[in-house]
């Protein structure tokens, strides 16, 4: 399959890229690793008049520790590079990365590309939601920081303006009282998450659960924070019954997706199961 013809522009600098998407004139799409965009163009599910290639902008690559302890992930960092970086110390990220695509896809697919593409079953999106990440977006107008909760607005839709690109994803610094994990039920052929649950738990000195961030993907129209699960976990004991009762709220208020791979009822049931498993795994990481 061959995509429809498009113009191609390789950006030498971030400023070049920002100008190219600000100028507009037809449909301009940013090309990062291309692992989502190129299949869409080939299948002609999407089209573009011009592709602006930012895949090799060095200034958008790499993972660095900020002075305040936070971790800044350059948007053009590939999944493989992320897995080899200090981001692997976040249990939730270490769990999720090997489930994304396959080796070849992880060698080219980028963190920024995944976030901007906003697949409703994105594994990384759930991780970033549970970690309370921030998205740094830039345009010729300037830079802004967008909390990831609220960034995903619908299937393949985000809070980004058309002239903005993602430069960085920032994760909070590691905490001794936090444990995290990701658990997913994958469609066996495609590997896409039918249900993915990302959990970060915070535990008090006496071992009780102080609070938790819980995010699900593959379940609703976009990855979301499961606030009802979080409320039930805050102050909860760690008994199996309490964790299961909290996880049962995984789809509260969500219009659960049903398709040929997993009907609405099955997906709803599995959302609770995988949320419980992710909570248990996150707690287990704290010992």
Partner 1 sequence: MSEHITFVVNGIPRELDVEPRRLLVQALREDLDLTGTHVGCDTSQCGACTVHVDGMAVKSCTMLAVQAEGSEVRTIEGLADGDTLHPLQAAFWEKHGLQCGFCTPGMIMTAADLLARNADPSDDEIRHAIDGNICRCTGYQNIVAAVREAARVIRSGGATVAAQG
Residues that bind partner 1 in the complex, under the rule CB under 8 A? 1-8, 10, 31, 34-35, 38-39, 41-43, 51, 53, 55, 80, 98, 101-105, 107-108, 190-191
Give residue for tokens 């961030």: 213
Give the up-direction half-sphere exposure of residue 258: CA atoms within 13 A in the CB hemisphere.
7
User: Which residue lies nearer to partner 1 by CB, 38 or 72?
Assistant: 38
215 in helix, strand or coil?
A: strand
At closest approach, how far in Å is the CB of 51 from partner 1? Answer: 7
At closest approach, how far in Å is the CB of 102 from partner 1? Answer: 3
At closest approach, how far in Å is the CB of 2 from partner 1? Answer: 6
Distance CA 229, CA 248 (A): 7
At closest approach, how far in Å is the CB of 56 from partner 1? Answer: 8
User: Which residue lies nearer to partner 1 by CB, 11 or 251?
Assistant: 11
> 57, 49, 50, 48: which is closest to 11 by C-alpha?
57
Distance CA 65, CA 280 (A): 29
At closest approach, how far in Å is the CB of 17 from partner 1? Answer: 15
User: Which residue lies nearer to partner 1 by CB, 105 or 273?
Assistant: 105
At closest approach, how far in Å is the CB of 98 from partner 1? Answer: 7
Contacts 24+ apart (CB under 8 A), 184-191: 184/96, 184/99, 184/123, 184/217, 184/218, 184/274, 185/262, 185/270, 185/274, 186/99, 187/261, 187/262, 191/99, 191/100, 191/101, 191/102
User: Which residue lies nearer to partner 1 by CB, 20 or 133?
Assistant: 20
At closest approach, how far in Å is the CB of 23 from partner 1? Answer: 18
Beta strand 71-74 pairing with 165-171: antiparallel
User: Which residue lies nearer to partner 1 by CB, 31 or 214?
Assistant: 31
Please name every residue paired with 148 in a beta bridge, in sequence order, or none if there are none. none
User: Which residue lies nearer to partner 1 by CB, 54 or 219?
Assistant: 54
Query: What value, to the nearest 5°, has the Cα angle with vertex 78 and ends 73 and 80?
Result: 110
User: Which residue lies nearer to partner 1 by CB, 122 or 275?
Assistant: 122
Contacts of residue 281, Cβ cutoff 8 Å, sequence gap at least 6: 91, 95, 181, 183, 199
């Amino acid at each position: 399959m061959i995509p429809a013809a498009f113009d191609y522009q390789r950006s030498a600098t971030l400023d070049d890229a920002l100008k190219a998407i600000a100028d507009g004139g037809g449909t301009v799409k940013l090309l990062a690793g291309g692992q989502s965009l190129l299949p869409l163009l080939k299948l002609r599910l999407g089209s573009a008049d011009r592709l602006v290639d930012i895949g090799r902008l060095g200034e958008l690559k790499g993972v660095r520790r900020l002075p305040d302890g936070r971790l800044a992930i350059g948007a053009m960092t590939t999944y493989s590079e992320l897995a080899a970086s200090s981001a692997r110390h976040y249990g939730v990220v270490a769990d999720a990365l090997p489930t994304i695509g396959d080796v070849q896809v992880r060698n080219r697919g980028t963190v920024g590309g995944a976030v901007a593409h906003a697949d409703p079953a994105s594994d990384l999106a759930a991780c970033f939601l549970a970690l309370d990440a921030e998205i740094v977006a830039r345009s010729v107008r300037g830079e802004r920081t967008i909390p990831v909760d609220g960034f995903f607005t619908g299937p393949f839709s985000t809070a980004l303006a058309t002239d903005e690109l993602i430069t960085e994803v920032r994760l909070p610094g590691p905490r001794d009282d936090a444990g995290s994990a990701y658990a997913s039920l994958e469609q066996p052929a495609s590997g896409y998450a039918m249900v993915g649950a990302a959990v970060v738990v915070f535990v008090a000195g006496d071992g009780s659960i102080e609070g938790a961030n819980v995010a699900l993907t593959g379940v609703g129209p976009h990855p979301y924070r499961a606030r009802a699960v979080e409320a039930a976990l805050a102050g909860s004991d760690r008994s199996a019954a309490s964790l299961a009762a909290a996880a049962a709220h995984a789809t509260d208020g969500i219009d659960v997706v049903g398709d040929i791979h997993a009907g609405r009822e099955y997906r709803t049931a599995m959302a609770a199961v995988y949320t419980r498993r992710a909570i248990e795994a996150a707690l287990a990481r704290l010992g």
